[in-house]
Amino acid sequence: MPLSSPRKPSRLPHATALRTAVFDEQRLDGADPRVVLTDVLRASVQLLSIEENDFAWSSWQDSATAVAEVSRLLAVVEAGGTPERLALSVIFAPTGPMQEVSISNGWGEAFLTLAECYDYAEKGLWKHG
């Protein structure tokens, strides 16, 4: 099943990347949660950076705001830290800002893939509570 919506397939230049690596369900099982989270955040930055994205239904004002927030979290992970769980879970929550952007812009299926991978990483990084 393609990750992009049939309505706007050209708007997802990185859809192939989202279907590979840890985003393949068979490879996800047993994967390092920190690596998965890093890949999810990198893919999120790519998707949020699509020029034509409409942020009207999101709590983010625009692409720059969204990319800055996700990039800050990515920097923490890349530096070996663990970001605040709530800061991440809000982004990937149903009706959260990223899902709102994805639905408005035809990459809802790609978001669902990222959210599933985020859930995997969350369970591995925050085992208690």
* pLDDT of residue 13 exceeding 50: no
* pLDDT of residue 119 exceeding 90: yes
d(CA 76, CA 86): 14
- Name the nearest CA neighbour of 23 among 128, 127, 119: 119
SS3 labels along the chain: CCCCCCCCHHHCCCHHHHCCHHHCHHHHCCCCHHHHHHHHHHHHHHHHCCCCCCCCCCCCCCHHHHHHHHHHHHHHHHCCCCCCHHHHHHHHCCCCHHHHHHHHHCCHHHHHHHHHHHHHHHHHHCCCC
For 16-51, write each residue's pLDDT tens digit: 445 444 455 556 778 899 999 999 999 999 999 999
Q: Give the HSE-up count for residue 27: Cα atoms under 13 Å, Cβ half-sphere.
A: 9
pLDDT at residue 99, rounded to an integer: 96
pLDDT at residue 120, rounded to an integer: 92
Residues 102 and 4: beta-carbon distance below 8 Å: no
Domain ranges within the chain, ordered by starting residue: 30-125
For 63-109, write each residue's pLDDT tens digit: 999 999 999 999 999 999 999 999 999 999 999 999 999 999 999 98
